[in-house]
Every structure is written in structure tokens, then in C-alpha cells.
Structure 1
Amino acid sequence: MSAWIQSIEGTPTGATVALILALMAAVLHAAFGALQKGRHDPLLARGVIDISYALMAAPFAFFVVPWPEPHMWLIFIGVFFIHAGYKWAVLLSFRRGAFTVVYPVMRGTGPLFTVIGAWLIFDETFTGVQWLGVLVLLAGLYGLAAYNMARVTVARDTLVAALGFAMLTGLFVAVYTTFDAYGIRATADPFTFLAWFFFIDGLLFPCLALRFYLRMEERPPLAPLALRGVAGGLIAPFSFGAVMLATRLDQVGEAAVLRETSTIFAALIGWLFLRETVGPARVALMALIAAGAVIVEVGG
């Protein structure tokens, strides 16, 4: 698999595979976000998810993939701190705002900064048509957030703070997308980066979650938490891992924009499982998001 990935980098086949991977990441990332925003506190959910994928990744990191090159350890340190900041911002946002309000803001802030970061670091450029697609997608994302915000009836007293943390999350999304793209391109075998990424990234938040759990007066049963953790642990490598591979195969900015169609799937999840309504206006805004992603892809 590694040899095949390396053989299609920068080719039309690689671009097609990157498109498929980015869209798969979008679907799975929406499900991943919903797992963190369910009935359990987001810190507990994040903790069990992280320990699950860390344990799943450990055998691959230590015994299957090639050992990381020496220069990769500094990159992994950067990955650890950047993703820790990202996850903390997500938790603060989810604790204060409704999923369908904060999630579009999180995802909408990321692509613009990612495209700029990819230009500065990887010398990637967007055409005028692609920039139009970015603007259309952002209009849909922020329009969806504004529409949901006007109608949300829960946690309105903390909504401003939630939106602030959602914007901060979007900035972290741009930083980690660009930095992860740099990391996965810096090693010979992309699966070396992925295996060690999930192992290292999963070490901190289980400790924070355990400390929080032990201090709770009413502790939730562990079985449902563990089930949520296993589900998230299985989804994460195919969500985050897919978009990382996409950034190695094709442009970082395009992968970042396509991934943000996850907001469409998040709205569907909110409607199906979180009992949040979807009306004609939201459908139109989601269509705008999809149109923006299509324009970016076709314009490239």
C-alpha cells in the first residue's frame, strides 16, 4: 500500500484518490464530531476515544510500519501540542453551544486559513474560480451557523463564548491541517506518520478525562462510554488519516475545502440522531456548501 501511495503522488490518479479520501473524511468527521457532542461530557468522550485509537495504533507503530526517521520526532512533538490545543478548543466550544451552531463555524474558519497556509508553506496557488468556490462554501457554512444560531433554544447565555471558541478551533484546524501535511510529506512511508500520529496524539486526553471522571459527584456508567470510545477509535483513523493521505497526494488547500462538506453530514446527523430540525433554508445553505466544494474541485 505504501509503495502504491508513493507511486501515484502528484499524478491524475493521485488527485482522484485524494478527492475520494477527502470526501470520505468529511462523512466520517461529522460522525466523529457527533460522538463528542452526545450525552456524555465532551472531555469524557474525547478521553475514551483517544485511548481507544492510541491502543489500536500502538501495535502498528511499534511492530508494523518502518521506524520514524530521526527528524520526525520534532515533528511529532509539534503534532502533539497543536492537536492538544485543537481538542481543548473543541471541548470548550461543545460545552457551551449547540452542535449545529458551533460545528459550521469550526469548519468554516479552517479552509480559508489552510489555503493561505498552503500557499505560504507549500507554494500552492488557487485559481480565481477556486477562490470563488471557497467564498461560496464559506457563505454556506457561516449562513448555516447564523441560521441555526437564530433558532437555537438551548445554551443561549453561553453562545457568544461558544462561537469564540469555535473560531479558535477553526484556526487550530488550519494549523494542524497544514502542519500534518508537512509531517506526512516529511517521512518516506506515510503510514509511519499515521501510526505514530494516532499513538502519540491519544496519550494526553485520557489522563485529563480520568482526572475529571474521578472528581465527578455522579459518574456515568463506563460501558456506554467505552462503546463510544471504541466507535470513535475506529472512525478516527479513517477520518483524520484519510485527509492526511489526501494532502500528500494532492493540494492541501483542496483537501481542506472538500473536507468541510462534513457540515452537510453533521446537519443530517443532528437531524437524525440529535433531534435537531432541518428545513428548506438549511437545505439550501447545505447545497451552497456542496456547490462551493464542487467549484473548488472543478476550478482546479
Structure 2
Amino acid sequence: MTDWLISIEGTEAGHQLALSLALMAAFLHAVFGALQKGKHDPWLSRGAIDGAYGLMAVPFALFVVPWPEPHMWPIFAGAFVIHTVYKLLQAQAYTRGAYTVVYPVVRGTGPLFAVIGAALIFNEHFTLTQWLGVAVLLSGIFGLALYNYLYLVTARETLVPALLFAFATGLLVALYTTYDAYGIRATQNPFTFLAWFFAIDGIVMPIIAVLRYRSMAEPPALGPLLTRGVAGGLIAYLSFGGIMMATRLDKVGEAAVLRETSTVFAALIGWLVLKETVGPRRIALMTLIALGAVIVEFAG
């Protein structure tokens, strides 16, 4: 399978597979965000998820995939730092703000700077029509955030810091998208990068979660929390792993933009699962997001 994936890099088959992976990652990333924001404290949820996918990745890293080349260890160290900062900022945002307000700001900030980063680092350039698509997509995302802000009932007192943390998280999304694309392209076997990335990335948040859990006056039952962690860990492999593979197979900028259709799925999850209100205006804004992604894809 590895040889086949490498053989279709930069081809039409690779483009089609990258498109499918990016859209799959979009849906699963929205599910992943809802798992972190949902029933449990976001710090505990993220700790359980990271611990699960880290433990599951270790056997593959040690015994299945080829050993990383020497030059990969500094790259893994950089990824570890970037993703740790990202997760700390994301947990701060989720702790302070409603999911349907915070998530669009995070996802709207990310693709714009990821596209710019792809141009600077990978010499990928969007056409004028594709930039129009980006503008349409971002207008829908930030319009959704503004609408949620105007009609928000709960957690208004912490909304400003939540939005600031969300914006900072979005910048880290752009950074890790570009950096991970560089990392997965720097090794011969992409599964080597994925296995070691998840093994290393699962270290910090479980420690923070354990300390937070022990300090709680009424900590939640461990069974449901750990179940959520395993489910989130499996989703993370397909979501984060899928988008990383897409950036190796095809253009980083296009994959980053297509992933942000996750905002549409997030709004639907917020409505159906988290019981947050969705009306015709939000549906119209979500349509803009999807339309922008379609323009970017077909104008490429």
C-alpha cells in the first residue's frame, strides 16, 4: 500500500484520493471537536483522547513501520511543540466559549494562513477564482461565528477571551497544517511519520488531564471518559492522519481549504447532538462555506 501511495503522489489519482481524504477529515474533525467540547471537561476529554491514540500508536511505531531517518527527529520535536501549544490554546477556547462560536473562528483563521504558508514554503499558488472561493468560504465561516455571537445566550461573559483564544488557535492550525505537510514529505514512508507523530503527540495532555482530574471535587466516572478517549483516538487517526496524507498526495492549500467544510458538519453536530440552535440564516452561511470549497476545488 505504501508503494502505491507514493506512486500516485502528484497524479490525478492522488488528487482524487486527497480530495476524499480531506472531506473525510472535515467530517471527522467536527466529530472530534464535539467529543472534546461535549459531555466532559475539555481538558479531560483531550487527555483521554491523546492518551488513547498515543498508546495505540506505540506498537506500530516500534514494530511495524520503518524506523525514522535521523533527520526526522528534529522534525518530530517541532511537531510536538506546535501541536502542544495548539491543544493548550484550543482547550482554553473551548473552556470559555460555546462550541458553535469558537469552532468557526478556529477553522476560519486556519485555512487563510495555511494557503499563504503553502505558497511561501511549497510554491503552491491559487488562481484568482480559487481565491474567490477562499473569500466565499471565509465569509461563511466568519459570518457563522458573528451570527452565533449576536444570538448567543450562554457564556457571554467569557466570550471575548474565548474568541481571542480561538483566533490564536486558528493561527496554530495554519502552522501545524503547513509544518505537518513538510514533515510527512520529509520521510520516505508516510506511515512512519504518522505512527511516530501520534506516539509522541500523545504524551502531554494525559499528564495535564490526570492532574486536573485529581484536583476536582467531583471527578467524573472514568469508564465513560476512557470510552470517549478510545473513540476520539480512532477518529483522530482518520481525521488528522487523513489530512496529513492528503497534503502529501496533493496540494497543501487545497486540502487545508476543503477540510474547513468541517464547520458545516460542526454546526449540524451542534444542532443535532449538543442541542444548539440552528436556523435558516445559519443554513445559508453553511451553504456559503460549502460553495467556497467547491469553487476552490473546481477552479484548481
TM-score (normalizing by structure 1): 0.99
The SS at the match of 2:103 is: helix
Q: Distance in 2 between matches of 1:101 and 1:207?
A: 28
Deviation at 1:38, TM superposition (A): 0.9
Alignment of 1:1-300 (within 5 A): 1-300=1-300
Deviation at 1:192, TM superposition (A): 0.2
Deviation at 1:34, TM superposition (A): 0.2
Q: Distance in 1 between matches of 2:45 and 2:167?
A: 21
Deviation at 1:17, TM superposition (A): 0.4
Q: Distance in 1 between matches of 2:168 and 2:116?
A: 16
Aligned length: 300
Letter in 2 for 1:272: L
Letter in 2 for 1:263: T
Deviation at 1:109, TM superposition (A): 0.1
The SS at the match of 1:275 is: coil
Deviation at 1:216, TM superposition (A): 1.1
Letter in 1 for 2:224: P
Letter in 1 for 2:281: A
Q: Distance in 2 between matches of 1:123 and 1:99?
A: 35
Q: Distance in 1 between matches of 2:9 and 2:52?
A: 31
Q: Distance in 2 between matches of 1:211 and 1:110?
A: 30
Q: Distance in 2 between matches of 1:29 and 1:40?
A: 18
Deviations along 1:261-298, one digit per CA (max 9) or x if unpaired, are 00000011001110011111011000000000000001
Deviation at 1:200, TM superposition (A): 0.3
Identify unmatched segments of 5+ residues in structure 1. none
Aligned CA RMSD, in angstroms, stands at: 0.5
Q: Distance in 2 between matches of 1:38 and 1:159?
A: 18
Identify unmatched segments of 5+ residues in structure 2. none
Q: Distance in 2 between matches of 1:67 and 1:42?
A: 34
The SS at the match of 1:267 is: helix
Q: Distance in 2 between matches of 1:95 and 1:215?
A: 17
Deviations along 1:83-119, one digit per CA (max 9) or x if unpaired, are 0000011000000000000100000000010000001
Q: Distance in 2 between matches of 1:76 and 1:104?
A: 28
Range with greater deviation from structure 2 (212-221 or 255-264): 212-221
Ranges of 4+ aligned residues in structure 1 off by more than 3 Å? none
Q: Distance in 1 between matches of 2:277 and 2:219?
A: 31
Letter in 1 for 2:292: G
* Percent of paired sites with the same residue: 68
